[in-house]
A = this chain, B = another copy of it.
């Protein structure tokens, strides 16, 4: 049971789609599938952006595509950093030769949007990048106010939606996001291997006016968009089976409906939080900044962090994640993503964790985490 930071469980329908016999990557039947994928990705990103496609690599390839197509050496960019994926964006931007100004804050807290606005005002960067759902900390970052400000400037807004898309509201057009990327293996519930991205017209203009060719041929969107668009010019061979899986995963999402899916993620997140609180465990992120899809849980004093994870995997077949960087050994990361965000999984996890912590000698204030999660619905948070 994959309850870590991803990959997440994949529905049987999607696994079946994965194993369909292959079509040629320029076969008319496959081209129709490509069109359907683009159209349904637009529905999930809530955008009308023409350039909305899956990049042929995992989420980090999507991140890289979002820099190498826009940034020339010497360009100023602002990167917001409060975890591993913010750090990774800085590294990727620097490899493009960007002059990076970082807006940093402690891991586990949110970026102060006002500080970003002031940094943009001062440096007038080509691009400002921020993580919507920081998988390394479980923090959910507000985006809309930053989008509103940047829309009146020349700066592009680049947002990492890897862990949020399909599990929490991501409204690309409404929030005025220019460039966003995600991954298939989190709340979209397909296997890892593709990175959906979307690019606004404002950003496409910047892409077309870029001085140097993209330093990556593989991720050059000027070439890739000709294959996904009307021209159908051969670029690289699309990962055909993965595209089948993505399409079926998008079908599952749109059949459930985005609003219902978000509500399911929120309800299960709140149930998990109630159960954990009941037995005295702490969630280090402030309640209104918590990701619904990835829950950071503080490791109690004196408990062997990795030992608990090993035992959960061995005794219950449950995988959760540990902390990274400064949070290593201090938190567990519990993913309730896509198909994996279900009430049974919450109960199974809480029961297994309680038993495992008991075995590790943890003294509970009260027992019955699973019961607490299921019994009361708790006060409702404001709607997304």
A-side interface residues toward B, CB under 8 Å? 2, 4, 6-7, 9-10, 15-16, 18-22, 24-25, 27, 56-61, 63-64, 88, 91-92, 94-96, 183, 185, 191-193, 213-218, 234-242, 245, 313, 319, 324
Contacts and interface: CB of A to CB of B under 8 A. Distances in A.
A238 B96 CA distance: 24
Contact of A239 (B24, B64, B193, B217): B193
A59 B24 contact: no
A37 to B, nearest CB: 15
Q: Give the number of times this chain occurs in the complex, counting copies.
A: 2
Nearest to A244: B191
A345 to B, nearest CB: 15
Contacts of A88: 217
- Residue picked from A2, A91, A218, most chain B C-beta under 10 Å: A218
A19 B234 CA distance: 28
A60 B324 contact: no
Contact of A214 (B18, B56, B95): B95
A9, A27, A241: most-surrounded residue (chain B CB, <10 A): A241
Contact of A218 (B4, B6, B57, B217): B57
B59 A58 contact: no
Nearest to A3: B24
Contacts of A234: 324
A5 to B, nearest CB: 9
Nearest to A324: B234
5 contacts: A7-B24, A15-B19, A15-B20, A60-B217, A242-B242
Pairs of residues from A and B, 6 with the lowest C-beta to C-beta distance, nearest first? A193-B239, A19-B19, A191-B241, A60-B236, A15-B19, A192-B237
B22 A7 contact: yes
A191 to B, nearest CB: 4
A61 B218 contact: yes
A219 to B, nearest CB: 8
A205 to B, nearest CB: 22
Contacts of A2: 22, 24
Contacts of A96: 215
A192 B15 contact: no
Contact of A191 (B91, B215, B240): B240
Contacts of A313: 27
Contact of A57 (B15, B56, B213, B214): B56
B27 A58 contact: no
Contacts of A193: 56, 193, 239, 241-242
Nearest to A14: B19
Given A61-B56, A216-B216, A218-B64, A22 B4 contact: no
Contacts of A7: 22, 24-25, 237, 240
